[in-house]
Structure 1
């Protein structure tokens, strides 16, 4: 890519943001926020997909596909030798999402 002002600005922002998240408390807070956002997504997707009740199987297959892709990205050793923050946040989001779907299933079963 060319060395433009926009590229320099984006590189500077990315490097400062990565330095800012090196603090363990900030990193942990981002992961907790990612978990809570995953639980919100699980609840929101299950209620909106269940409203019409026509595409339940298609939506379920798509969600399983997304969680499997996320697991493959996180647990593949060749993809990232060192796990970056966004990969960890994506995995925690997936865990929150699956947790929320289990809670929704328990609510429907009781």
Structure 2
């Protein structure tokens, strides 16, 4: 690629973000936000798809497929590649999502 001003700007922004997320506390906060967002998505999907009983099986199949793809992305990598922030936050998002779905199932079962 050519060394343009826009390319230099994007490279500088990416480098600053990488250095900003290198701090362990900031990384941890991103992971906690990812877990909470997964919990929110799980409860939102459960209540939205639960309104019409016609889509329950289709939504369950799509959610199962998405969680398995997330597991394949995370566990299909070496341990060093798993430490990438986006891979780790995707796994934590999946964990929050699954926890929310289990909690919704327990609420409906009681």
Task: State the partner residue of 1:37.
Answer: 37
TM-score by length of 2: 0.91
Aligned Cα RMSD in Å? 1.7
Q: Return the offset for 1:83.
A: 2.6
Rate the CA distance shift 1:50–1:71 in 2: closer, same or farther, 3 A: same
CA distance in 2, matches of 1:99, 1:17: 30
Q: Deviations over 1:28-59 (max 9, x none)?
A: 01100100000000000111111122111111
CA distance in 1, matches of 2:54, 2:2: 49
Rate the CA distance shift 1:87–1:54 in 2: closer, same or farther, 3 A: same
Rate the CA distance shift 1:60–1:82 in 2: closer, same or farther, 3 A: closer
- What is the total number of aligned residue pairs between the two structures? 110
Contact 2:82 2:88 in 1 (8 A): no
Task: State the partner residue of 1:19.
Answer: 19
Counterpart secondary structure, 1:52: coil
Rate the CA distance shift 1:107–1:87 in 2: closer, same or farther, 3 A: same
Q: Which runs of 5+ in 2 are unaligned?
A: none
The within-5 A match list for 1:1-110 is: 1-77=1-77, 81=81, 83-110=83-110
Off by >4 Å, runs of 4+ in structure 1: none
Rate the CA distance shift 1:82–1:48 in 2: closer, same or farther, 3 A: closer
